[in-house]
A and B are shown apart, each in its own frame.
Chain A
Amino acid sequence: MSSDNGARRGLAIAVCVKFTVDLDQLRADPATGEPDLAHARYLVNEFDRNALEEALRLKERHGGRIVGVSLLEQEPPRDLLLRALAAGLDALYLVMHPAASSGDGFTTASILAAALEEIAAVHELRRFDLVLCGDAASDTYDSQVGPRLAEALGIVPITYATRLDVSGDTVVARRLLEDRVHVVEAGLPVLVTVGSETNHPRLPHLMHILEAGQKPVTHLALTDGRDLEQSAPALQLLGMTAPPTTRKRIVVRGDDAGVVTRRLVRHLQAAGEVTL
């Protein structure tokens, strides 16, 4: 823990958790052409599962406490909350805000920053040593909230970390850029974003799932979010459409792989799409 937080009692870690639509199940609403979110199934965002796993690994090595924070428009199903808690959280804070699904990164990051400051105060911390986020949310793939949140908290972000080691007040991270590996060092506190390259989230044991039911879930009412309520979002979603596909979407069927693939080859030859 950084000296800011007094005596060393392990790491104070916050993980931002987004509940995202299960893309495999998502359908377009036939009437509007927009995604049918009302009937969608929700999951813990894939890269946030990596963030939860990384937090748990750090806690196992250094001790400490992991709290989750999630910004939502409405109460999520209980089993979803349990899944996040079973992945290693000691406590989960929910912030209900009508702008949660606005898609405006400024609003999201500002609310999360205000929430993290309040949660830190509740836990008698000056600030969290580490804030972990996923590289991106699988639904919007904006990749903005992590770096924005770091700015809002006044701490430095380390994005696209694939390996994270904490020693004393220092963190060393291996970052994956397009064509390079960047090894960096920074003093705590930092915000780190992680992805599927970082770790393989473990499956929770039955015991963890049972324990999750005992862990505190707190609704957080923000006291200093007033200026956000009043300011118009900087980014406004005008609409969403499923673009007409130009793909043929032919499902080639058959009793076994031999039959199916011979049919596929005939399709390709007939359409002149493969030169043998």
Chain B
Amino acid sequence: MTTRGVTPAGVLAFSENPDVALELLAAGRPLADAAATGLTALVVGADAEARAAEAIARGADEALLVSLPEPGRLDAETYLEAVHAAVRAQQPAILLVGSTRTGVEVAARLAQRLRVGCVTDALTLAIAGDGSLEATRRAYGGRFVARVALRSVPAIATVPANRFEPPARDESRRGPVRRIPVEAPPARVRTQALEERPRSGTDLRKAQVIVSFGRGVKRPEDVPMIEALCRELGGALAGSRPITDERGWLPFDRKIGISGHTVRPSLYVACGISGQIEHVVGMRGARTVIAINSNPDAPIHAEADYSIVGDLYQVVPALSTALREARTRQAAGTLGGQE
């Protein structure tokens, strides 16, 4: 196939996370097509050549490789210099960055340096009639969607993980790979340690049923009560950000939310979760949602198909019992009686 000519204005995509980097190509391709410009993947760090080839096979028109003066130094500071250098070299109209914690920091800092606008966690992206970038994003606990226009150039948007499917590989695609030099200034923030966080190894994205809990569970001794409900439903156990990050009662890979997993199970049970945007973003894709929360005003109820306003310490064990009874009745071939 032929590769379209790359014009100075174009779409530049960067994520330090290799999976998100490919998803950005799906977000960027329609924008580049709409503006009749090219899509460029910026690759920084380890395996850069292989990742550049992968990006081109999956829809990038070209790849920029950054050679770092200190190849081992992979922090926000380094990525910021790399992306800034790529923006100077490429002069893109649109810069897409993966919404990781590092990515959002890089995008926001670069936007301030360039005195331009930045939209974080964009749900949709489109080029408006006047050529500006229009985006939607969630606001106010996820109950509202804000529509914003970015009128500065480049327009910077961060795109959450799992929002777009990576484009299929097309081995016949060809495109140039350019190498740009970066002079990273001396580190102002020095890394003392970079440790893997303990993980459960469970892939929540594959779970059909998820039972999730939040701050409403008061003590670690109470977690088995949630686990019991989870077993009744044959589900996977998960938690909101306070549970994994603040209290450490579950490993980080059981976290649902902006900073954790985005899941699409057929059934999602939220126990003692208030429903902040951080969490809601991760569970919106569930087919059926049950919310158990004592606060009738908690935003989670608006995200639920079935709500129980009540004390989870009574409701959760009762639900385990009700499920067990229903199963017993079903096994006995009787219809559920009237209470």
Task: Tell me, yes or no, whether A binds B.
Answer: yes
Whether the pair B199, A157 counts as a contact (CB closer than 8 A) is no
Whether the pair B112, A106 counts as a contact (CB closer than 8 A) is yes
Q: Interface readout for A201-237 with B: 1 if CB under 8 Å, 0 if not?
A: 0000000000000000000000000000000111111
Interface residues of B in 136-151 (CB under 8 A from A): 138-141, 143-151
Query: Does B204 interact with chain A (Cβ within 8 Å)?
Result: no
Q: Interface readout for B85-127 with A: 1 if CB under 8 Å, 0 if not?
A: 0000000000000001110110111011101111111000000
Query: Does B304 interact with chain A (Cβ within 8 Å)?
Result: yes
Given A26-B140, A138-B277, A236-B151, are A250 and B310 neighbors across the interface (CB < 8 Å)? no
Nearest A-chain residue to B275, judged by Cβ: A23
Chain A residues near B113 (CB, 8 Å)? 151
Query: Does A243 interact with chain B (Cβ within 8 Å)?
Result: yes
Whether the pair A235, B105 counts as a contact (CB closer than 8 A) is no
Query: Does A242 interact with chain B (Cβ within 8 Å)?
Result: yes
Q: Report the separation of the CA atoms of residues A225 and B192 in the bound assembly, to the nearest whole angstrom.
A: 39
Whether the pair B76, A159 counts as a contact (CB closer than 8 A) is yes
Query: Does A267 interact with chain B (Cβ within 8 Å)?
Result: yes
Q: Report the separation of the CA atoms of residues A176 and B246 in the bound assembly, to the nearest whole angstrom.
A: 10
Query: Does A121 interact with chain B (Cβ within 8 Å)?
Result: no
Q: How many residues of B sit at the interface, in one of the four size bands?
A: 35 or more
Chain A residues near B162 (CB, 8 Å)? none
Q: Report the separation of the CA atoms of residues A106 and B144 in the bound assembly, to the nearest whole angstrom.
A: 22
Number of residue pairs A-B, CB distance < 8 angstroms: 272
Chain A residues near B309 (CB, 8 Å)? 251, 253
Nearest A-chain residue to B296, judged by Cβ: A251
Q: Is the contact region of chain A dominated by helix, strand, or loop, or is it mixed?
A: mixed
Given A35-B140, A104-B117, A140-B139, are A250 and B299 neighbors across the interface (CB < 8 Å)? no
Query: Does A122 interact with chain B (Cβ within 8 Å)?
Result: no
Q: Which of B25-33, B60-68, B165-173, B287-295 is near enough to bind chain A? A: B287-295
Q: Interface readout for B249-265 with A: 1 if CB under 8 Å, 0 if not?
A: 00011000011100000
Query: Does B47 interact with chain A (Cβ within 8 Å)?
Result: no
Whether the pair B108, A144 counts as a contact (CB closer than 8 A) is yes
Query: Does A181 interact with chain B (Cβ within 8 Å)?
Result: yes
Query: Does B302 interact with chain A (Cβ within 8 Å)?
Result: yes
Query: Does B222 interact with chain A (Cβ within 8 Å)?
Result: no
Give the shortest distance, in Å, between A115 (CB) and chain B (any CB).
15
Interface residues of A in 32-80 (CB under 8 A from B): 34-35
Q: Interface readout for A110-151 with B: 1 if CB under 8 Å, 0 if not?
A: 100000000000000000000000001011111111111111
Q: Report the separation of the CA atoms of residues A182 and B322 in the bound assembly, to the nearest whole angstrom.
A: 45
Give the shortest distance, in Å, between A229 (CB) and chain B (any CB).
15
Query: Does B223 interact with chain A (Cβ within 8 Å)?
Result: no
Q: Report the separation of the CA atoms of residues A214 and B310 in the bound assembly, to the nearest whole angstrom.
A: 42
Given A240-B139, A265-B322, are A152 and B112 neighbors across the interface (CB < 8 Å)? yes
Q: Interface readout for A252-276 with B: 1 if CB under 8 Å, 0 if not?
A: 1100111111111111110101101
Give the shortest distance, in Å, between A95 (CB) and chain B (any CB).
18
Q: Interface readout for B171-204 with A: 1 if CB under 8 Å, 0 if not?
A: 0000000000000000011111111110100000
Q: Is the contact region of chain B dominated by helix, strand, or loop, or is it mixed?
A: mixed
Q: Report the separation of the CA atoms of residues A144 and B117 in the bound assembly, to the nearest whole angstrom.
A: 10
Interface residues of A in 1-43 (CB under 8 A from B): 21, 23-26, 28, 34-35
Chain A residues near B151 (CB, 8 Å)? 232-236
Given A25-B297, A181-B195, A236-B151, are A148 and B76 neighbors across the interface (CB < 8 Å)? no
Given A28-B144, A147-B112, A264-B308, are A238 and B149 neighbors across the interface (CB < 8 Å)? yes
Chain B residues near A160 (CB, 8 Å)? 101
Q: Report the separation of the CA atoms of residues A142 and B118 in the bound assembly, to the nearest whole angstrom.
A: 9
Given A176-B245, A185-B192, are A238 and B147 neighbors across the interface (CB < 8 Å)? yes
Contact of B326 among A26, A110, A234, A276 (CB under 8 A): A276
Q: Interface readout for B318-331 with A: 1 if CB under 8 Å, 0 if not?
A: 11011101110010
Chain A residues near B253 (CB, 8 Å)? 179
Query: Does B58 interact with chain A (Cβ within 8 Å)?
Result: no
Given A177-B101, A185-B190, A274-B233, are A260 and B288 neighbors across the interface (CB < 8 Å)? no
Whether the pair B323, A265 counts as a contact (CB closer than 8 A) is yes
Whether the pair B102, A177 counts as a contact (CB closer than 8 A) is yes
Given A140-B139, A179-B196, A242-B144, are A106 and B111 neighbors across the interface (CB < 8 Å)? yes
Q: Interface readout for A164-185 with B: 1 if CB under 8 Å, 0 if not?
A: 0000000010001111111111
Given A105-B108, A158-B189, A236-B151, are A262 and B322 neighbors across the interface (CB < 8 Å)? yes
Given A138-B141, A250-B307, A273-B288, are A103 and B116 neighbors across the interface (CB < 8 Å)? no
25 pairs from A and B in contact (CB 8 Å cutoff): A24-B274, A105-B111, A140-B139, A141-B121, A144-B118, A148-B112, A152-B112, A159-B105, A176-B245, A177-B102, A180-B195, A181-B197, A186-B189, A240-B139, A240-B146, A241-B145, A247-B304, A251-B309, A257-B317, A260-B310, A260-B318, A261-B315, A263-B339, A265-B319, A276-B323
A-to-B contact residues, CB < 8 Å: 21, 23-26, 28, 34-35, 103-106, 109-110, 136, 138-152, 156-160, 162, 172, 176-187, 195-197, 232-243, 245, 247-253, 256-269, 271, 273-274, 276
B-to-A contact residues, CB < 8 Å: 75-77, 100-102, 104-105, 107-109, 111-113, 115-121, 134, 138-141, 143-152, 188-197, 199, 233, 241-242, 245-246, 252-253, 258-260, 266-267, 274, 276-278, 287-290, 295, 297-299, 301-311, 314-315, 317-319, 321-323, 325-327, 330, 336, 339
